[in-house]
Chain A
């Protein structure tokens, strides 16, 4: 099923620990950048669950990210922040329900037809939010106050504080990773992985393939909404572009760049994509061309994504390569 090489797991753990110290030495800009990357990583992991888990390649996954972001606006009273304890679960539940409705039609199909249907639903939502004055129109909406984290009438955390929001994002990212891991190890995960590998055989064994696909679609939708909620909390503004197919394409690119065969792949892809973009933008105005070259090189040299790098760099593999050479 999904086997994470030990070296990759240790590298990831080291990276998370390093990340935890980032607010101690990095300036505002980087704290914000990495907070955004972590919401992208959650978004990418949610799509990874669909793509590598159940074999459902969606080109409309941004619709749930967008819904999550907009729902925070709708759940926020105008004059104060929404209480996160109910606003976040309500956002994820609403996105899951939307995903159940959309998925009820979409997961009946597979392959290219599933791609087309998810694309169509995503574009429908884009135009709905773009053209409706009530939903903010093309300018979008603002979150006047960030959500509050309080208990017994006292504020526990202030999400206006950048390092605090950074740590909240870090915790949510790690929790998402562990949660997906738990899901994949449970009977549910075994079932959806079986569906990805041989759907027809699963049917013959008596599994209700449609129900499992629908539920995984809803879970992925809820996790994407979590990422969108985090994004809207950070930037305090949402606009219809969040729904666009370009966003869906970008997150799919993160998943593929990171690697479809590793559970860490989507998160690695999110960090790599944004950081490489940042680096290239600093060097050249024509950074998109250079970025294209980067994507081509990764896909050609590492068909299983960046996560494969770690597998290639294990000591015994290196020794073997040296001997072969």
Chain B
């Protein structure tokens, strides 16, 4: 069981009469990049919210590194090593890049109720901050105020803040949203680098990017899994083409 970093069993979420996520079973082994694709309203973000603990499931189970974490809070899952990024960039706009990542790194201290010694003297936090900036590819922008970064850099910073918490599993909601072609290509490189030491589950609409980084694709339609498998199989699948890729896709 511990072979899979993340595993779900018949995971479902109902909002009143609407079944947003319908009996989804996922198995994500360590080191895999698992992309979830599907048309708008397919329930992808809701699924990610269930995985990250932002909302509790109606039924079904979630296992993280062999441990049953069904219904655990986002805070608890974050402490266990799950990192989540959001579709809308959510950073500390007034702070520098380094100060942003610092807050991610400092969140791993048992407590920040420390009043006397300057924070920057805490070597473990400083080390994690620098490592996260380097990994996210924004170390050369360390002293820049976040609000002054380009959109693409802000998305990288968003990842940097999350990486500073040293997660083993990353849940990314449309990391390329709103990016230019250049920025997207940089993000693809970044995701490839992350893949070496992290497991990634991501939602993405940019199909070129998805096929460039993903090891496994899961296609969702109307809250349920339509197909799941290696990118080439998914690309070849008739059902998927009809349901999703068919509409205007060159894949």
Instruction: Report the Cα distance A202→B90, complex, angstroms.
Output: 10
CB distance from B23 to the nearest CB of A (A): 28
Instruction: Report the Cα distance A224→B104, complex, angstroms.
Output: 32
Instruction: State whether A191 touches B106 (Cβ < 8 A).
Output: yes
Instruction: Report the Cα distance A278→B75, complex, angstroms.
Output: 53
Instruction: State whether A205 touches B92 (Cβ < 8 A).
Output: no
Known contacts A190-B119, A197-B93, A205 near B113 by CB under 8 Å = no
Instruction: State whether A203 touches B75 (Cβ < 8 A).
Output: yes
Instruction: State whether B92 touches A197 (Cβ < 8 A).
Output: yes
Produce 1/0 per residue, B71-108, CB < 8 A to A.
00011001100001000001111110001001110110
- Indicate whether A120 reaches chain B with its CB closer than 8 angstroms: no
Known contacts A187-B112, A211-B113, A200 near B122 by CB under 8 Å = no
Partner of A188, one of B79, B103, B115, B120: B115
Instruction: Report the Cα distance A1→B106, complex, angstroms.
Output: 16
* Chain A, 188-217, CB within 8 A of any chain B CB: 188-191, 193-194, 197-198, 200-207, 211-212, 215
Instruction: State whether B104 touches A187 (Cβ < 8 A).
Output: no
Known contacts A187-B119, A190-B119, A198-B91, A1 near B78 by CB under 8 Å = no
Instruction: State whether A205 touches B165 (Cβ < 8 A).
Output: yes
Partner of B103, one of A183, A202, A211, A215: A202
Instruction: State whether A205 touches B103 (Cβ < 8 A).
Output: yes
Instruction: State whether A182 touches B115 (Cβ < 8 A).
Output: yes
- Indicate whether A282 reaches chain B with its CB closer than 8 angstroms: no
Partner of A1, one of B99, B109, B165: B99
Instruction: State whether A194 touches B84 (Cβ < 8 A).
Output: no
Please indicate the chain B residues that have their CB under 8 angstroms from the CB of A203 in the complex: 75
- Indicate whether B248 reaches chain A with its CB closer than 8 angstroms: no
- Indicate whether B15 reaches chain A with its CB closer than 8 angstroms: no
Partner of B112, one of A197, A201, A204, A207: A207
Instruction: State whether B90 touches A198 (Cβ < 8 A).
Output: yes
Known contacts A197-B93, A200-B90, A205 near B116 by CB under 8 Å = no
Partner of B91, one of A201, A207, A215: A201
* Chain A, 257-278, CB within 8 A of any chain B CB: none
Partner of A197, one of B78, B94, B120: B94
A185 closest partner in B (C-beta): B118
Instruction: State whether B92 touches A215 (Cβ < 8 A).
Output: no
Instruction: State whether B103 touches A194 (Cβ < 8 A).
Output: yes
- Indicate whether B117 reaches chain A with its CB closer than 8 angstroms: yes
- Indicate whether B114 reaches chain A with its CB closer than 8 angstroms: yes
Please indicate the chain A residues that have their CB under 8 angstroms from the CB of B94 in the complex: 197
Instruction: State whether A186 touches B117 (Cβ < 8 A).
Output: yes
The total of Cβ contacts below 8 Å across the A-B interface reads 78
Instruction: State whether B99 touches A212 (Cβ < 8 A).
Output: no
Instruction: Report the Cα distance A37→B78, complex, angstroms.
Output: 48
CB distance from B49 to the nearest CB of A (A): 12
Partner of A194, one of B92, B109, B113, B118: B92
Count, chain A residues at interface, CB 8 A:
25
Instruction: State whether A1 touches B119 (Cβ < 8 A).
Output: no
Instruction: State whether B91 touches A183 (Cβ < 8 A).
Output: no
Please indicate the chain B residues that have their CB under 8 angstroms from the CB of A190 in the complex: 99, 102-103, 106, 112, 119
Instruction: State whether A187 touches B74 (Cβ < 8 A).
Output: no
CB distance from B53 to the nearest CB of A (A): 10
Please indicate the chain B residues that have their CB under 8 angstroms from the CB of A205 in the complex: 78, 103-104, 107, 161, 165
CB distance from A87 to the nearest CB of B (A): 23
Instruction: State whether A191 touches B112 (Cβ < 8 A).
Output: yes
Known contacts A198-B91, A204-B78, A186 near B107 by CB under 8 Å = no
Instruction: State whether B112 touches A212 (Cβ < 8 A).
Output: yes
Partner of A185, one of B74, B112, B119: B119
CB distance from B41 to the nearest CB of A (A): 25
Instruction: State whether B113 touches A188 (Cβ < 8 A).
Output: yes
CB distance from B178 to the nearest CB of A (A): 19
Please indicate the chain A residues that have their CB under 8 angstroms from the CB of B116 in the complex: 182, 186
Please indicate the chain B residues that have their CB under 8 angstroms from the CB of A188 in the complex: 112-115
Instruction: Report the Cα distance A207→B95, complex, angstroms.
Output: 17
Please indicate the chain A residues that have their CB under 8 angstroms from the CB of B125 in the complex: 187
Partner of B122, one of A187, A201, A207: A187
Please indicate the chain A residues that have their CB under 8 angstroms from the CB of B95 in the complex: 1, 193-194, 197
Produce 1/0 per residue, A1-16, CB < 8 A to B.
1000000000000000
Instruction: Report the Cα distance A206→B103, complex, angstroms.
Output: 10
Please indicate the chain B residues that have their CB under 8 angstroms from the CB of A185 in the complex: 118-120
Known contacts A205-B78, A206-B79, A187 near B114 by CB under 8 Å = yes
Known: A200-B90, A202-B103. 14 other contacts (CB 8 A): A182-B115, A186-B117, A186-B119, A187-B109, A188-B114, A194-B92, A197-B92, A201-B90, A204-B78, A204-B90, A206-B75, A206-B107, A206-B165, A215-B113
Query: Which positions in A face B, CB cutoff 8 Å?
Result: 1, 182-183, 185-191, 193-194, 197-198, 200-207, 211-212, 215
Give 19 A-B contacts (CB < 8 Å), ordered by A residue.
Answer: A1-B95, A185-B119, A187-B109, A190-B102, A191-B103, A194-B92, A194-B95, A197-B94, A197-B95, A201-B161, A204-B78, A205-B107, A205-B161, A206-B78, A206-B79, A206-B165, A207-B112, A211-B113, A215-B113
The 6 closest A-B pairs by CB, nearest first: A205-B107, A187-B112, A191-B112, A185-B118, A187-B114, A187-B119
